[in-house]
Structures are given as C-alpha cells and as structure tokens.
Amino acid sequence: MRWEEGLIVSCLVDTDVCIDFLREREYARTLLRKWLAKGLLSVSAITHLEIYAGMRKSEGSATGAFLDLMVTLPVDEMVARSAGEIIRHLKSKGITISPSDSIIAASALFTNVPLITNNISDYPVAAISGLVVVKGILFA
C-alpha cells in the first residue's frame, strides 16, 4: 500500500511481535529490520490499545517512541464493517475470532499487506479470503 508522500507500507505487525520487539527479543528486531527494508511498518490502532493495556508504567516512553515510528492504521467505518463481516463469515463456519483480531485482519486486508504474527491460530487464513499471514519467528 502507498502511504502519504508515496511511501510504501510493507506489512502490518501484530501485537505479539511488537511486544517481543519491546522486550528486546532478537528475532523481532531482525524481523522488523527486514520488513523495514521493504517499506514502512504499520500497526493497527488496536495494537496501541492492547500494548498500552498490558504495559508497565515504566515502559511508557519507550513504547510510545516505538509505536510512533510506525504507520498506525485507524479503525474507521470501512475497517469496522470488514471486521464485522469477517466475524459473521467465520461464525457461519463455526469458527470464532476475537473482535480485536478481526479488526487487525480487516486492517491488513484493507491495506493489502501481509500480517506478521506468531499467533497464527488467531487468524484462520483458509477461511479469510485474501488474508496473507506470515509467521514472524520463522521469517527472521
């Protein structure tokens, strides 16, 4: 996806990989450097919510600085509608997905970029047409 000023977004980074980066796990640092070489990194606004809900008070400055380096994809009406359609579609197949994960998946689909995560089971790729999920820890 092209972002402001013609810059290209290379991927959407899931919350778990962001947390691993902030916890200084080497695979996450290597992984994000590789994807950054292809274009800008992005996160969903939901990732901000999930990270801030679980972080320690002392981690606020570093967390904010890290997230500010990424393109934050907003949860607008198009993403919300798409997320709702994902939930409805999966429910009809007997598959459950959390609202947060459906929004993150919808953001990746709407932006047309791969989702980088280690939580592959959270995103039933076979049932979500067009979603590309890359397992982060194997890619690094």
Residue 114: give its domain's CATH number: 3.40.50.1010
Top pLDDT among 17 and 126 is at 17
What are 50-105's pLDDT values in tens digits?
999 999 889 999 999 999 999 999 999 999 999 999 999 999 999 999 999 999 99
Average pLDDT, whole number, for the chain? 91
d(CA 125, CA 72): 23
Residues in the chain: 140
More confident residue, 113 or 2: 113
What is the number of structural domains in the chain?
Answer: 1
Global pTM value: 0.91
Largest Cα–Cα separation, the chain: 43
Answer yes or no: is pLDDT of 1 > 70: no
Q: Which residues contact 65 (CB under 8 A, 6 or more apart)?
A: none
Q: Is pLDDT at 23 greater than 70 in this prediction?
A: yes
Q: Residue 91's domain spans which residues? A: 4-139
